[in-house]
Structure 1
Amino acid sequence: MFALVCFAVHLASACAFLEETLASGSADHAALVQLIGQEQSLRMNLETQVHSQQENIEKLQASVNTLNKSLTAEKAIIAFEGKLSSTRLGSTEGGRILIFDTVLTNLGGAYSTTTGIFHAPVKGLYLFSVTLLADGRNGTASIELYHNTKLIARPFTGPSSSFVGTGEVALVEANAGDEIFVKASVGGTNAVYDHFSRFSGVLLHAM
């Protein structure tokens, strides 16, 4: 009987200990679940912040790149001047692009002595000048300044008892890649003389 009582007492103690352990374990498990939830929440917030910062960095880098390109364009020196190395007859050169093949200045390399065409390297405001010398005793002479397909200037000389010179300047708002060139007018009876007939241009302001 005594042994049975002792066994019952030990069993009751074991049950109490088991209940206490299970209760404690449940509390620890709940705490652990809560900590895991907090960690996941913090991780998601951190990832969101990192992603947002990366987007901001990319936007700032794009702005810096744009600013650098703008500053480079503004610092670029684009200027050229060329003259004819020989006299060109209006009767044979009419309608053709005149190549000012003696280059005095070609900063930026935008003027081609192969084609006679100036290719605008950047968008901006340009100033172009064309001059010609002709013998007025041989009749009229003229040349034509073009911006792509648009005629923008046409210096002209009339009949005279001696040599006569003329010229024009033009402000051009050009896009990168635009072409500016000079043609001999069709139907001209006079000659455009070398050295004194020139074509020049300069970038005033990049846009």
Structure 2
Amino acid sequence: MRSAAVFLALLLCLQWTWAQGESGEVTGTDTETEGGNRQEEVQFEIQGVGAAHDQSSSQTNITPDIWAELKELRDMAIEQKVELRNSKSKIEKLEQENAVLESRVNTSENLVAELGRENMVLETRMSSSENEVAELKRENADHPKVAFSAGLTDAGHVGPFNTEITLKFSKVFTNIGQAYSPTTGIFTAPVRGVYYFRYTVWGVSTSTWFGAHLYHNEKSMAFNEDYNAESSHVSVSNALVLQLEKGDVVYMTLHPGRTIKDDLHNRTIFSGFLLFAL
């Protein structure tokens, strides 16, 4: 690099001398003066070239440091790029996990909503059932419970009599509502409604008629009798469903000349109960 600078300075000097020889207008003194000045300029230029060379050398010395820094920057960039790729992969993985979580959350929300709807349906049904129970309780409270069952006697034979008599079933087994009177043998309807009645009459006397009537108020609703031709156990039974008004009475009577029997086994029975009120 130094040889090139010196060669360039000499070339400039030769060009200047050639230019002066062609012009022929410069005197000897002037030539010397100008020659001296030109030498100074050439030395100055040579010094400048030297300084430039020194600066170039300095830059040449600095250049390896710049390359090292550039390499370091390149390595940092590569490292950051790798980190960026890793971060991108992590972000994608997080996004996938987030999508899975969102799907699960949506599924859970749907399940919660479905459970909420089912719960509302159950609550509605429960409320309806509670209302029905309350209504039944009100109806049950509004209508009395009525039921009775009684046996005739433990004394054995009853009858015969010359007139028709009311049978007094004195052995009371059940008398809910107290609608049946064992003293009179009469059932009195406490409410308007539909009632069920049943009776069984037993006879054992040989060669005799036995039987009984069932009355609604003063009207005979049923009459059952039989003839016992032999010494054996014979019975008759019947059942009716009657519509009664409040205060109507139902009872049983023994026909004149008839004989019936009862004992500890409760073979002659009179029963009844309210089916539903009207």
Q: Contact (CA 8 Å) 1:130, 1:155: kept in 2 or not?
A: no
The residue type paired with residue 198 of structure 1 is I
Q: Contact (CA 8 Å) 1:126, 1:171: kept in 2 or not?
A: yes
Q: Contact (CA 8 Å) 2:162, 2:257: kept in 1 or not?
A: no
TM-score normalised by structure 1 residue count:
0.61
Q: Which has the higher contact order (CA 8 A, sep 6+)?
A: 1
- Deviation larger for 146-155 or 130-139: 130-139
The residue type paired with residue 105 of structure 1 is T
Match of 1:153 among 222, 244, 249: 222
Question: 1:156, CA displacement in angstroms?
Answer: 1.4
Matched position secondary structure for 1:177: coil
Over the residues paired in the alignment, what is the CA RMSD in angstroms? Answer: 2.2
Matched position secondary structure for 2:183: coil
* Alignment coverage as a number of residue pairs: 139
Q: Contact (CA 8 Å) 1:129, 1:201: kept in 2 or not?
A: yes
Mapped partners of 2:157, 2:220: distance in 1: 20
Mapped partners of 1:147, 1:126: distance in 2: 11
Mapped partners of 2:162, 2:214: distance in 1: 15
2:151 paired with 1:83:
yes
The residue type paired with residue 269 of structure 2 is R
Per-residue CA shift, 1:4-54, capped at 9, x if unaligned? xxxxxxxxxxxxxxxxxxxxxxxxxxxxxxxxxxxxxxxxxxxxxxxxxxx
Matched position secondary structure for 1:72: helix
TM-score normalised by structure 2 residue count:
0.46
2:271 paired with 1:200:
yes
Question: 1:192, CA displacement in angstroms?
Answer: 2.9
Match of 1:92 among 161, 179, 184: 161
Identity of aligned residues (%): 31
2:226 paired with 1:176:
no
Question: 1:73, CA displacement in angstroms?
Answer: 4.0
Q: Contact (CA 8 Å) 2:203, 2:228: kept in 1 or not?
A: no
Question: 1:204, CA displacement in angstroms?
Answer: 0.4
Matched position secondary structure for 1:137: coil
CA distance change for structure 1 residues 80 and 112 in 2, over 3 Å: closer, same or farther?
Answer: same
2:242 paired with 1:186:
no
CA distance change for structure 1 residues 126 and 197 in 2, over 3 Å: closer, same or farther?
Answer: same
Q: Contact (CA 8 Å) 2:207, 2:227: kept in 1 or not?
A: no
CA distance change for structure 1 residues 100 and 155 in 2, over 3 Å: closer, same or farther?
Answer: same
The residue type paired with residue 89 of structure 1 is V
The residue type paired with residue 149 of structure 2 is E
Mapped partners of 2:262, 2:162: distance in 1: 12
Matched position secondary structure for 2:141: helix
Question: 1:170, CA displacement in angstroms?
Answer: 0.9
The structure with the largest alpha-carbon Rg is: 2
The residue type paired with residue 184 of structure 1 is L
Per-residue CA shift, 1:50-71, capped at 9, x if unaligned? xxxxxxxxxxxxxxxxxx9865
Match of 2:178 among 92, 96, 109: 109
- Structure with greater strand percent: 1
Mapped partners of 1:93, 1:107: distance in 2: 34
CA distance change for structure 1 residues 200 and 93 in 2, over 3 Å: closer, same or farther?
Answer: farther
Q: Which ranges in structure 2 are unaligned for 5 or more consecutive residues?
A: 1-136
Match of 2:211 among 119, 142, 145: 142
